[in-house]
Amino acid sequence: MDSPYPLLVATDRAISHQLQKLSLYSPSASDSIDLGYHTLDNNPCRSSSSPSIPSPRGHPQHRRFSLTPTTLTQLEDKILLKILHWVSTRDRCTLAQTCRRLWEIAWHPSLWREVEIRYPQNATTALRSMARRGCHSSIRRLVIEGSTGFTGAFSLLPFSSLTSLALRHSRKLTDMNVSTILDNCVHLKELDITGCGNITRAYCHVGPTQLESLDMSDCHSVDDSGLVMTLSQMPQLALLHLRRCLRITDASLVSVASYCTNLRQLSVSDCCRLTDFGVRELAARLGPSLRYFSVGKCDRVSDAGLLVVARHCYKLRYLNARGCEALSDSATIALARGCPRLRALDLGKCDVGDPTLEALSTGCPNLKK
């Protein structure tokens, strides 16, 4: 039967014929995402006035960029300096051997403000190597640990910016070496000679030093006379560690209180010759300036010494009395009442009971451990 609308039928057939001739969009293998935009882009019914919608191939979000690998040497100098700032001293020296540009950047003085050298065969050789590259004058903090050779490099090289020096466990370090360091490094604030068994004193020949921190722990040759010589040249000392210096006695504590009136931290743990007399003299003379005090495993210290601490050192923040088995509740209760600013208190292996715990809970509200 004839269609009641012959013109419309003819038009539909013409449109179908034209659609078959069009090359419709088909996604290729390179298009990883199909968002259906091709149905709009190839719509034959769209008028010429309709806005053009780009295909996925031309859309910026769907373009593929070829990333070229960037090597370390292609970075700018300022970026390389920031990266090498977080690299250890040993790795920095290794990196400097790879190419000329990295060698120049790795030895930039700004990267050598803090230097750590672990167990070198000869510390002098390492320091002279840095001096040849002009880095020694920029060093502010220097750590040399376990050196087996030390022939006085500090007498030959100027370390004008050095403020912190650690020469731990250097078996060949002598009193003369330490004196040379104190004489030449006039801006030195911190000195750590832990575990240097040949050291008996740290004396400066040119006058009082600016040292504020001294650690002579495990210097087993240090005695009372050597410590008196040491402290007589250090009026600004605020921190002193003498752990396991087995030869010092109460006379050393008296000299500490006499010469170091600004002392804030003192550790004499495992110094078995100390008694209540030295603790009383120290506490009475230093008074509220003392904030940190450690007499752990000093088994001759008892209530008599710590009662004076509780009476005079009311600004004390930390107290270590672990292993002082002669302590009782009377001394610890006095500490709880006299030192309300305590934040840390170690009473391990001490004969204290519930009255101490009750006094600490009410008298020391800032106590954390």
Q: How far, CA to CA in Å, does 318 sit from each of 1, 40, 362, 369?
A: 109, 76, 17, 10
Question: What pLDDT, on a 0 to 100 scale, did the predictor assign at position 19?
Answer: 42
Residues 6 or more apart from 279 whose CB is under 8 A from it?
Answer: 253, 295, 301, 305, 306, 308, 309
Question: What pLDDT, on a 0 to 100 scale, did the predictor assign at position 196?
Answer: 95
Q: How far, CA to CA in Å, does 10 sit from each of 19, 20, 21, 155, 213?
A: 14, 16, 17, 108, 103
Q: Span 74-111: which CATH code?
A: 1.20.1280
- Which stretches in the chain have pLDDT values below 50? 1-11, 15, 18-19, 21-53, 55-56, 58
**pLDDT, tens only, 249-280:** 999 999 999 999 999 999 999 999 999 999 99
Question: What pLDDT, on a 0 to 100 scale, did the predictor assign at position 224?
Answer: 98
Query: The pTM is what?
Result: 0.77
**Does residue 108 contact residue 131 with C-beta atoms inside 8 Å?**
no
**Does residue 183 contact residue 206 with C-beta atoms inside 8 Å?**
yes
Question: What pLDDT, on a 0 to 100 scale, did the predictor assign at position 369?
Answer: 78
| HSE-CB for 191 with a 13 A CA cutoff | 27
Domain 261-369 has CATH 3.40.190.100: no
Question: What pLDDT, on a 0 to 100 scale, did the predictor assign at position 151?
Answer: 57
Question: What pLDDT, on a 0 to 100 scale, did the predictor assign at position 68?
Answer: 64
Domain 112-248 has CATH 3.80.10.10: yes
Same fold, 112-248 and 261-369: yes
Question: What pLDDT, on a 0 to 100 scale, did the predictor assign at position 64?
Answer: 58
Question: What pLDDT, on a 0 to 100 scale, did the predictor assign at position 59?
Answer: 52
Question: What pLDDT, on a 0 to 100 scale, did the predictor assign at position 104?
Answer: 87
Q: How far, CA to CA in Å, does 289 sit from each of 102, 158, 178, 301, 367?
A: 50, 35, 28, 21, 19
For residue 124, which of 156, 164, 151, 142 has the smallest C-alpha distance?
Answer: 151
Handedness of CA 301, 304, 308, 313 (dihedral sign): positive
Question: What pLDDT, on a 0 to 100 scale, did the predictor assign at position 272?
Answer: 96
Domain boundaries of the chain, sorted by first residue:
74-111, 112-248, 261-369
CA–CA separation, 332 and 355 (whole Å): 9
Question: What pLDDT, on a 0 to 100 scale, did the predictor assign at position 41?
Answer: 45
**Does residue 339 contact residue 318 with C-beta atoms inside 8 Å?**
no
CA–CA separation, 349 and 331 (whole Å): 15
Question: What pLDDT, on a 0 to 100 scale, did the predictor assign at position 72?
Answer: 77
